[in-house]
């Protein structure tokens, strides 16, 4: 299966909002509500930020939110903070016990 499509980069100033998209197909993102998002600071373990499209694990700030429309899922970070600067990856269940990740988006806080 092909990787999900994410923009390579995104940016925003402190306090602003930024949205990262994740585009797949009807066989993955569009067909299931099993989309998750991860924050990855280089050299550290990735961290789950959103699961099942919109749910936030305990401990994740409510500045992070997820949504989906058709074959595209989105992660929105509101009230950007310096510590939000990281790589972000989406993931979707792709049927037949397959999982697919997006190519990743580097978020820069200006």
Q: How far is the CB of 34 from other proteins (least distance, A)?
A: 4
Closest CA to 81 of 50, 109, 107, 56: 109
Which stretch, 15-23, 48-56, 63-71, 73-81, contacts other proteins (CB under 8 A)?
Answer: 48-56
Q: Which two tokens stand for residue 102?
A: 């997006």
How many CB atoms are located within 10 Å of the residue 41 CB?
12
10 lines the binding site for other proteins (CB under 8 A): no
58 lines the binding site for other proteins (CB under 8 A): no
Residues 6+ apart with CB under 8 A from 7: 20, 21, 105
Binding site for other proteins (CB under 8 A): 1, 3, 32, 34-36, 38, 40, 45-48, 51-52, 57, 87, 89, 91-93, 97-104
């Amino acid at each position: 299966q092909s990787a999900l499509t994410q923009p390579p980069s995104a940016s925003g100033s402190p306090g602003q909002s930024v949205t990262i998209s994740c585009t797949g197909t009807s066989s993955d993102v569009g067909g299931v509500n099993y989309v998750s998002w991860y924050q990855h600071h280089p050299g550290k373990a990735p961290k789950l930020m959103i699961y099942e499209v919109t749910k936030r694990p305990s401990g994740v700030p409510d500045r992070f939110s997820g949504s989906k429309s058709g074959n595209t899922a989105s992660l929105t970070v509101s009230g950007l903070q310096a510590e939000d600067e990281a790589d972000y990856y989406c993931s979707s269940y792709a049927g037949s016990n397959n999982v697919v990740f997006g190519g990743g988006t580097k978020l820069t806080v200006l």
